[in-house]
Structure 1
Amino acid sequence: MTPTKIAFIGAGSVVFTQGLLADLFAFPELKDAHIALHDIDPERLATAEGAARRIAEERGAAPRVSAHAERRAALADADFVINIIQVGMRESTRTDFDLPARYGIRQTIGDTLGVGGIFRALRTFPVLRSLAEDIAEVCPDAWLLNYTNPMAMNVQYLTQATGLTRVVGLCHSVYWTMHDLAELLRVPFEEIDYQAAGVNHQSWVLRFERGGTDLYPRLDALIAGDPQLRRRVRVDMYRRLGYYPTETSEHSAEYVPWYLHHDSEVERLRLPVGAYLGIVDENVSIYESTRDALAAGGPLPVEGTMEYAPQIIHSVTTGTPRTVYGNVPNHGLIDNLPAGGTVEVPCLVDALGVQPTRVGALPAQCAALNRSYLSMNDLVVRAALQDDPRSIRQAAMADPATAAALPVEGIWDLCDEMVRAHADLLQPGLRATLGH
């Protein structure tokens, strides 16, 4: 049987690539896989290749590892494509924070919604389109497993702008939320049963049980007795909405108008404004350490990450059934969210592929927040599909946190500045500045 071929697009995101490879090589059936690495940065590509070979050796795997400066060569005949690109890298991310900050907009992570999420999406879409065209030509049956943020916008764009249907967006937030809740309650993770659904970075824990017993009352008692727990955004949201959100407090604060715009809330909830810039710098340092360790022949300690992509690849190739959480188009999955928007739901995975689970209707208060999120997403995707620069501004106007911080003229001025700053990475029709 021909070994499974897995193409990594953006493999120079070495930290993430290493974790995924450690997970892949943990499965005996994938130890001989063909790992095809692609990155546009030659040094990062060489580092990724060296790391892949070292991890394989340490894990007792014997894969074929190939590195490709040319993307189509990496994709040719691939069974799975893992997308982990970051268009514009550190420089563009810094712009996403610095320009809005001059207008008084606070962001913590800036990669999903808000001004940062809008422009990260718009500079990613052209690369996604060309990637999809290549997949359609050289590996049309491959599953595209997307990790690149903004997840929901990218998946919606891929499914609406291209002919690809085997697309699923993957994020670890549901898994780690439940892992951390189990730890908080001192319940073994393996003993909990849970269901979550919503949109990426704003899903909701709909069921949280152990042996058929609801664990929410235990969580309520813990929160009531711990003032420090009540100083977390996600706990504050849970207390007011009744369902625990599946993303960190730093992320969650950006998607609603209630927190970052108010100094008192930033202090009460200990919100780290601009935190992602430190994470980006740390990732660069880790990359450089990995590069230097490889060059020196030193050890390369890598932990498994329990990510969903390796689990999906294993399930599809072996027929082993398992459940993961995936981001997919809302075709009858969540009744009270817009059709076609990207939703996050449980998915059965086996030899037939990724099969989303119908959830039904979300609690009304949760759906209300998710609809605001998806409405903004839709306007960003519409801007790209219709080459309509006004839709960029309208998306920013519809974003709850941006609208709470700026008057409408300020939103349009900021969008003009962002367009000018990112112009070289935007599709030509979106490079216009519009004024008021």
Structure 2
Amino acid sequence: MGRRKIVLIGAGSAVFTQGLVTDFIVSERIGRWEIALVDIDERALQSITTLTKKMVEKKNADIIITSSTNRRELLPGADVVVTTVAVGGRRAWENDVLIPRKYGVYQPVGDTTMPGGISRALRMIPAMLEIARDVKELCPEAYFFNYSNPMTAICTAIKKEIGIPVIGLCHGVIHVEQYLAKFLGVPPSEFKTLGVGLNHLTFLYDLRLKGKDAKPLLLEKLSEQKGLSIHPNLEAFREMGGCDSDTPFYGDNPFSWEFFEKYNVFPAVLDRHVVEFFPERFPAGHYYGKTLGKDAFSFEKVIEYGDREYEKMHKQAIDGSINERLFHRSEGEHEQLVEILHSLYSDDRKVYSINIPNQGAIPSLPYDVVLEMPAIATAKGFIPLFINDVPEIPNSLLHNHISVVNLTVRAALTGDFSMFVEALLLDGSVNTEEIAVSLAKELIEAHREFLPQFSHTEIPSK
């Protein structure tokens, strides 16, 4: 077999790139590859290129590392294209989350929905469309995988405007499967689910352990934890074995567990993401005695972690030695990509949760909507499973949020200020048009350099 080529756009995302390159190095079945790294940040690109070349050299892997700040130089001949870009980086992300706080809107993530996610979509979609146009022109036969958020809005816009297949990947579903298996104390390989939804709002409605319904076992374990956790000192309770370090504690994700108890479906990907789809239940960020994004799933700590990892990447690149820990398989967004590629190229026909257009696979949801759903990775490409039993509550909730995505995409494509405002209102995190207009204006002003579609838009003065 000849050498295949994967182009990673947004390679300055240090954790993702290091994890992906490690997976290629340690995999015994993936074959010979060129990994082409692209990032517009020259310093980040130089550091990640140096670091990954050292990693390849250290393990004597049959991998070629190339890099460029110009993706058009590297896209010709690509077999696989992966995007992990974040327009404006962490500083723009901070604006997405911190500006809405002035209006009483608190988010722990702010990359998918609510004002932060909608704002992010406005600057991400134009950039992602340009990448998609280059893929269509320079490597139209390549598998095109997107990891950038907001996943659903980006994939919807590419489908609508460019018309090329793009597969959205996220580790949310597999992460929750692993979490639930650990909750029961069973091997992850024995625990399987079926789920349908939007990225970060996928509902796992069929949960099985060795082929048998696992819901009664989960509810029994949940009841046991709740009974033990009456202990007045939570930390003492955990130390006493109510929740050891290897067993997830329901109190760390109370909304997800309450949802499961009430509706018999489990939301992926746990509270940090899923609460953002229910802003009406957490007014002003109030969350079980804490505040979302502050002392519950601190946004600032996530930003600090990203800044530290970025600087660590530069330090590792300069340092002559390579720490062996770099080669330990790690969890994260990258973790299934090598396995997926092997299934596609070898026709393993394994099932993965991916984001692709519905096209009738889920009859109860709109035909053209991009859904996160199970599909088989075959030599012909991805073939989605037909699922006609999505429960009523998830089905209804998804319809509402699909409407928010559609308004967001329209605003991003047209620069229509009124569509931005309507998306904020329909999302439910602001409850008056006056607040929505003021918030939309401030977010546009903060990100003006990344919003070419709004350059000629008339923004209300009041």
CA distance in 1, matches of 2:390, 2:369: 15
One of 250, 254, 270 as aligned partner of 1:232: 254
Q: Deviations over 1:316-337 (max 9, x none)?
A: 2333322111001121122222
Kindly tell me: are residues 126 and 118 of structure 1, through their superposed partners in 2, closer, same or farther at Cα, counting changes over 3 Å?
same
2:290–2:296 CA contact under 8 A, matched in 1: no
Q: Deviations over 1:177-232 (max 9, x none)?
A: 01010011011111123212111111111211123321111111122232362562
Kindly tell me: are residues 31 and 263 of structure 1, through their superposed partners in 2, closer, same or farther at Cα, counting changes over 3 Å?
closer
SS for the counterpart of 2:49 is helix
TM-score calculated relative to the size of structure 1? 0.94
Cα-Cα RMSD = 2.0
One of 208, 233, 241 as aligned partner of 2:263: 241
1:27–1:314 CA contact under 8 A, matched in 2: no
CA distance in 2, matches of 1:142, 1:200: 23
- Superposed displacement of residue 90, structure 1: 1.4
SS for the counterpart of 1:225 is helix
Partner of 2:357: 329
- Superposed displacement of residue 424, structure 1: 1.3
1:80–1:144 CA contact under 8 A, matched in 2: yes
Kindly tell me: are residues 177 and 112 of structure 1, through their superposed partners in 2, closer, same or farther at Cα, counting changes over 3 Å?
same
CA distance in 2, matches of 1:201, 1:3: 35
- Superposed displacement of residue 67, structure 1: 0.8
CA distance in 2, matches of 1:395, 1:8: 31
Partner of 2:371: 343
CA distance in 2, matches of 1:180, 1:59: 32
- Structure 2: which amino acid aligns with 1:312? I
Taking the TM superposition and a 5 Å limit, the aligned residue runs for 1:14-413 are 14-165=14-165, 167-227=166-226, 229-230=250-251, 232-261=254-283, 265-267=287-289, 272=295, 275-300=298-323, 301-302=325-326, 303-305=328-330, 307-400=335-428, 402-403=429-430, 406-413=431-438
1:145–1:309 CA contact under 8 A, matched in 2: no
- Structure 2: which amino acid aligns with 1:410? I
Unpaired segments of 5 or more residues in structure 1?
A: none
- Larger CA deviation: 24-33 vs 352-361: 24-33
- Give the aligned length: 432
- Superposed displacement of residue 248, structure 1: 2.1
Kindly tell me: are residues 58 and 194 of structure 1, through their superposed partners in 2, closer, same or farther at Cα, counting changes over 3 Å?
farther
2:105–2:284 CA contact under 8 A, matched in 1: no
- Structure 1: which amino acid aligns with 2:459? T
Kindly tell me: are residues 94 and 222 of structure 1, through their superposed partners in 2, closer, same or farther at Cα, counting changes over 3 Å?
same
CA distance in 1, matches of 2:216, 2:361: 28
CA distance in 2, matches of 1:83, 1:123: 15
Unpaired segments of 5 or more residues in structure 2?
A: 230-249
- Larger CA deviation: 354-363 vs 215-224: 354-363
SS for the counterpart of 1:320 is coil
- Structure 1: which amino acid aligns with 2:168? G
SS for the counterpart of 2:81 is strand
2:287–2:296 CA contact under 8 A, matched in 1: no
CA distance in 2, matches of 1:49, 1:270: 37
- Superposed displacement of residue 117, structure 1: 0.4
Kindly tell me: are residues 186 and 261 of structure 1, through their superposed partners in 2, closer, same or farther at Cα, counting changes over 3 Å?
same
- Larger CA deviation: 369-378 vs 3-12: 369-378
Kindly tell me: are residues 351 and 291 of structure 1, through their superposed partners in 2, closer, same or farther at Cα, counting changes over 3 Å?
same
CA distance in 1, matches of 2:171, 2:287: 27
